[in-house]
A = this chain, B = another copy of it.
């Protein structure tokens, strides 16, 4: 089996991406990043998904993005709960996906993988700049000049974002057909101390709307 690196957050999208990569025959090396996010219970769910889905490996890299701050997810700023707006919200973490994909790239070199998977989505999303196709394309170009493996001609990096143009309902239908157990995922930006979703942040709203439109009950999967 060809190795691939999967950026696994513990959320709904990345759990689905892992199932897609498995379906496509990859040996999945999952990377989660503990970046000081409020929703740290995600990390436990990432480990659970890696296990449930038979990943080859799951690693967690610690990085303290609170030293940089600038986001409701990493600094002492309240998570907005009034609905998904038109602007880039304060939950945007400065350069987050650039940092996360850079770590995936480093990991990929150590496991000799050239396929990276990310659950970025540009339909039912919060409007983050680093989820857009032009960002992903620029990162793929960067990967192919950044690494020893690329420069020595061992392979060409491909950044897969299979959910990019899907609605949340389509993602949920796809994952359900692949056997993803969504009960072991969390999408909330601001869960309580017991890991329960707030139900009001952008991410909770997008998730609930997705299950409703998919005609699937959250509790049953």
Q: Which of B62, B134, B141 contacts A67 (CB 8 A)?
A: B62
List A residues 60-101 near B (Cβ within 8 Å): 60-65, 67-70, 88, 92-99, 101
A214 at the interface (CB under 8 A from B): no
| Contact, CB under 8 Å: A106 / B61 | no
Q: Which of B96, B130, B146 contacts A138 (CB 8 A)?
A: B146
Chief secondary structure at chain A's binding surface: helix
Q: Which of B68, B88, B94 contacts A151 (CB 8 A)?
A: B88
- Residues 100-132 of A, flagged 1 when their CB comes within 8 A of B and 0 if not, give 011101111110000000000000000011101
State A122–B157 Cα separation when bound (angstroms). 23
State A200–B92 Cα separation when bound (angstroms). 45
Which are the 6 A-B pairs with shortest beta-carbon distances? A95-B106, A70-B110, A94-B106, A94-B109, A63-B63, A98-B102
